Structure 1
Amino acid sequence: MGLTANGLGSGLDINGIVSALVNAEKAPKEAQFNVQEGKLNTQISALGALKSAISEFTDKLKPLSDPNTFNGFTSKLSSSDFLKVKTTSDAVAGSYNISVKQLAQSQKLGSAAVADADAAIGAGTLSFSVNGESFDIEVGAEDSLKDIVKKINGSDSNVGVTATIVNGDAGPQLVLTSDKTGEDNTITVTASADSSSALADTFTMTELQPPKNAIVTVDGVTITSNSNEIENAISGVNLTLTAADVDKTTTLTISPNTDGAKKAVTEFVDAYNALMKTVQNMSGYDPETKKAGAFQGDALIRGLQNQFRSVMSSSFGSEDGQMMLANLGIKTTREGLLEIDDDKLTQALKDKPEQISDFFANEDTGLVAKLTEVSENYVQTGGIIDSRDESLDKQLSRIGDSRKQLAIKMAAYESRLFAQYNAMDLLVGQLNAQSSMLQQKFDSLPGLVSKK
């Protein structure tokens, strides 16, 4: 605001008059800018919420893109005391009676007892063999039983033998254990030494524990394994044996994993409905609050709705023919949302798991691939939402520029008004001064009588 005396000549409040005139010119335009900025900021915020909703929906598509979601199986044991089970996609639904007759175990060999585990035994060579593979260690003249244990366990050529010392009643003994279970993994030890060395006598080995294979029967069929981990004992079923009892039978039931598939489909439907409600709120009108959504009538929202609805109502090919969401008991309501017929979905997942898997998960033509394509068009960097966001930012920037131009214009307008009113005030002051001077002259003329 310019500096001025407060109407010294005219007595008028020039500052107040100029301020009122400037505000009268500026206020409507600033109010218009505020409305425009508020609308643009609301739309920018709404775009962020829309992008987030689409991303959350896309995340719920991931389980549906995995064929194992529909082709997987669950296993149930009547007793878990003897074994554990893990299924693969190759499993076949059915019931099996399993009995664990024997667990696999490793062989253990013991050396002759010695008087002192720290005493030297004598020089020579020890040769070890396990399942056709072998390695040697050289024993020095000063090496004790403890030194030999370290050399065996620390050998880079060790083919599967672990050594330890057991202090029994007869004295310390070196005990060898095969690292692998089963009869194929037996240990042989050969000691080579001269007659003055006790190495050969010490390493005359005694079997402390025989190697055993695991023995299992499945519906009366015997299965023998070197390991307690048995892969594909039944097609697509891996067994882990934990205990044995020839008199006990465990029933294993394999069934399609419809619960997992149903959960994935339900979450997909819920996520789609949440997305559509977000979109409807942005584009609709609330008669109670009398407020319109941020994108009421906007082509971006209409385009998004139309593309998603088009994909949802389409049919997709599989090896067994065409399929639609309606075939799974999923239909579209009048509000444009999805609704699940629980019984129909459950039955479809039981009857046609492979066809449903192909319907959702086919990487080129499946429903997930098509929905993901639509989503990415909107949320990817440089996509439709980013482009609109950039456009809104530019409009905000232009409003900022317009505010600056208005401020410059109003400053010039204010200066012009002050100049005009100050000039008027000066003129009025001069006229008042002249009027006073004339009055004084008239009052001083002879013959005139003052009317005080």
Structure 2
Amino acid sequence: MTTSVGSNILTALGAGSIDTASLVTSLVSATRDPKQQVITSKQSLNSARVSALASAVSSLDTFANALTNVLADSSYSAAPLSNNSAIASVSLRSGGTPTGLPAQLVVKSLASARVLASSSASGATSGSPVGTGTLTITTASGSKPITIDGTNNSYAGLAAAINASDAGVTATVVTDANGTRLMFKGQTGVASDFAISVAADDSASVLGGLAWNGTDNSTIASSSDPKNAKIILDGVEHEYATNSIDDAVPYLRIDLNKADENSSVTLSMTQPTGTMKDLLKEYVDAYNTLMKALNTATSLGTDQSNSGVLNGVASVRDMKRQLGQMTSTQLSSTGSYKTLADIGIGTNRDGTLTLDSKLLDKAMAADPEAITKMLNPAVPTPTSPGLSKLMDSVRDSIEKDDGPLKIAQKRYDAETANLTSQLAKLDEQMASYEDQLKSLYSAMSTRLSALKATQSYLTQQMEVWNNSNNN
């Protein structure tokens, strides 16, 4: 049976009062524990900082994203409105906010297109032949010849060839109780009128009867003349080639649906159905939740044992500084109200916000549209970003790759790896130290055994000498 180093030494000494195995363990612990405690304490603080920074970034992202989502809701945006959409409806165009509203609109006439219809061929179908040759459509943009041959010699083939020619005219095949006929429709507006000329191989064919140049005949006739839309906007008459008008009011599309010279339609912008006061209350509450968490993480405490884990971290101070500047940062370049401070949002000594409801109510009563545009412009710009874009820009600045926050996160991540490496190195050192102690005591055991043997020999010799002398 293998005996321990400690038991060898004890046997050699002839005593049982020294436990060298425990002695080795105690010596290793006495050397390891202070060093390990320093490293693990640093690990705990570093882990807490990593977690706290990650939580701060997550809270900032949640706050910014929630604000963006709320302001994107249509209830917080002004919308164009027509008080009689049966006559004219309106929609917002991208790029800006309509100006010059409210406005009064009268629709005198709608834009229309030239429509031609051929005579019906009794018993014919869309697949019936129409004859071969060339049909040419002429508009203000030029002429488009369309060839009809054996591959498309039918009503449907002719219509498909016209539609594929990009001549500015569409063709359809109509089959009803009277038979089958072709209909041709141009684009709306006087300038979009068209004519048809034909060079048919058989003048008596259906194709041969489709020529039209302003005069109806027995084989083709016009059922609608091309006209421009005519409107009166705030007393000024306008004329357009289409019924969808994009440039009468900036950033507003007006769709004309019915002419009525005796009715005036009011075009305006509605105010948001979700009140900006409620939005600002939610903003202040969410902001304060974020700022209080940052204050706790950076608190001085009474001493180091109860101070915040991010106390003294420059990147968090920078985050609080940038957030704190939002109340005084310009949200709009025009109007009476340009900043959050102008409408009653102030900053407390601890960085949290307060909302002066009386000042906000006064501002809302004076110019609600200006406040809506300041907080939530239809098209944010660098000088008029609105609240959501300002929050996004602050968030981007705080979280930029070369900013203090990212640098701190990288530093703490590196410290995590370094402390882990230090612990692993300490384990290696202590294992080596333990082996050294065991080797030392093993050598001591060997030497003590030799000394014990010498002691026994000398004792025996002395007894022999003593006995001899006594005799």
Q: TM-score, normalised by structure 1?
A: 0.74
Shift of 1:222: 6.2
The letter of the residue matching 2:294 is: V
Following superposition, the deviation at residue 301 of structure 1 comes to: 3.2
> How far apart in 2 are the matches of 1:145 and 1:314?
68
Q: Which moved more, 1:131-140 or 1:263-272?
A: 263-272
1:419 aligns with 2:425: no
Deviates more, 1:108-117 or 1:351-360: 351-360
The question of whether the paired residues in 1 share the 8 Å contact of 2:331 and 2:390 is answered with: no
Native 8 Å contact 1:315 1:322 kept in 2: no
Of the structure 1 ranges 190-199 and 15-24, higher mean CA displacement relative to structure 2 is found in: 190-199
Structure 1 residues 411 and 153: CA distance shift in structure 2, 3 A:
closer
Q: Following TM superposition, by how much is the alpha carbon of 1:283 offset from its aligned partner in structure 2, in angstroms?
A: 0.4
Q: Does 1:191 align with 2:198?
A: yes
Quote how far apart the aligned CAs of 1:299 are: 4.0
The residue type paired with residue 50 of structure 2 is: I
CA distance in 1 between partners of 2:385 and 2:176 (Å): 69
The answer (yes or no) to whether the contact 1:164–1:174 under 8 Å persists in 2 is yes
- How do 1:61-76 residues align onto structure 2 when only pairs under 5 Å count? 73-76=78-81
- Could you report, residue by residue, the CA deviation over 1:239-296 in whole angstroms, capped at 9, with x for unpaired residues? 1234567787654433566969778866765564344233212102679xx8432112
Question: Residues of 1 paired with 2:194 and 2:384: CA distance?
Answer: 57
- Superposed displacement of residue 36, structure 1: 0.7
The correspondence for 1:386, drawn from 399, 402, 406, is: 406
**Gap regions ≥5 residues in structure 1:** 448-452
For each residue in 1:198-255, what CA deviation from the matched residue of structure 2 results, as whole angstroms up to 9, or x when unmatched?
3433553122444455455667776554322123445654212345677876544335
Secondary structure (helix, strand or coil) at the match of 2:242 reads coil
Matched residue, 1:45: 51
8 A Cα contact 1:106 1:185, kept in partner: yes
Aligned position for 1:8: 8
Q: 2:143 aligns with which of 134, 137, 142?
A: 134
* Partners of 1:365 and 1:211 in 2: CA distance: 45
> Do the aligned partners of 1:311 and 1:367 also contact (CA within 8 Å) in 2?
no
Q: 1:134 and 1:259, CA in 2 relative to 1: closer, same or farther beyond 3 A?
A: farther
CA deviations over 1:154-178 (Å, ceiling 9, x no partner): 32xx321122222234432122122
Number of matched pairs: 437
Aligned residues of 1:120 and 1:141 also touching (Cα < 8 A): no
Q: Distance in 2 between matches of 1:383 and 1:208?
A: 70
Task: Give the conservation status (yes or no) of the 8 Å contact 1:104–1:227.
Answer: yes
Q: Distance in 2 between matches of 1:172 and 1:183?
A: 29
Higher relative contact order structure (alpha carbons within 8 Å, sequence separation ≥ 6): 1
Whether contact under 8 Å (1:139, 1:148) holds in the other structure is yes
Give RMSD over aligned pairs.
4.9
Q: Matched residues in 2 for 1:90 and 1:119: separation?
A: 53
Match of 2:161 in 1: 151
Deviation, 1:389, is 2.9
Corresponding residue number in structure 1 for 2:30:
24
**1:296 and 2:302 are equivalent in the alignment:** no
SS in 1 for 2:31: helix
SS of the equivalent of 2:171 reads strand
Q: In 2 relative to 1, CA 419–367 (structure 1 residues): closer, same or farther, beyond 3 Å? A: same
Alignment correspondent of 2:419:
399
Does the aligned pair in 1 maintain the 2:376–2:386 contact within 8 Å? no
- Counterpart position of 1:84: 89
- What is the CA–CA distance in structure 2 between the aligned matches of 1:102 and 1:370, rounded to whole Å? 46
What does 1:249-398 correspond to in 2, within 5 Å? Answer: 251-255=266-270, 269=284, 272-284=287-299, 291-306=306-321, 308-309=323-324, 312-313=327-328, 325-340=340-355, 341=357, 342-347=360-365, 350=368, 352=370, 356=374, 363=382, 378-398=398-418
Q: Tell me how far 1:137 sits from its aligned partner.
A: 2.3
**2-side partners of 1:366 and 1:146: how far apart?**
55
Aligned partners of 1:315 and 1:140: how far apart in 2?
A: 69
d(CA) in 1 for partners of 2:385, 2:120? 71
Shift of 1:327: 1.7
Equivalence map 1:147-226=2 (5 Å):
147-155=157-165, 158-178=166-186, 180-193=187-200, 197-198=204-205, 199-201=207-209, 203=211, 204-211=219-226, 213-214=228-229, 225-226=240-241
**Residue-by-residue CA offset, 1:58-108 (whole Å, 9 max, x unaligned):** 668989x99xxx9x8533344544442124524234364x56565544332
- Would you say 1:229 and 2:244 are equivalent positions? yes
> Corresponding residue for 2:214?
none
Partner of 2:116: 109
Give, as a single letter, the amino acid of the residue that structure 2 aligns with 1:292.
S
Deviation at 1:152, TM superposition (A): 1.9
Checking the alignment, whether the CA contact within 8 Å between 1:101 and 1:245 is kept in structure 2 is yes
Deviation at residue 302 of structure 1 after TM alignment: 3.4
CA 1:58–1:186 in 2, change beyond 3 Å: closer, same or farther?
A: same
- Maintained 8 Å contact 2:190/2:226: yes
TM-score by length of 2: 0.71
Distance in 2 between the 1:401 and 1:343 partners?
Answer: 60
CA contact (8 A) 1:95 1:254 kept: no
Hey, what does 2:216 align to over in structure 1? none
Residues 137 and 424 (structure 1), Cα distance of their counterparts in 2 relative to 1, 3 Å cut? closer
**Rounded Cα–Cα distance in structure 2 between residues aligned with 1:322 and 1:170:** 69
* Aligned position for 1:450: none
The 8 Å contact of residues 131 and 184 in structure 1, kept in 2 or not, is answered as yes
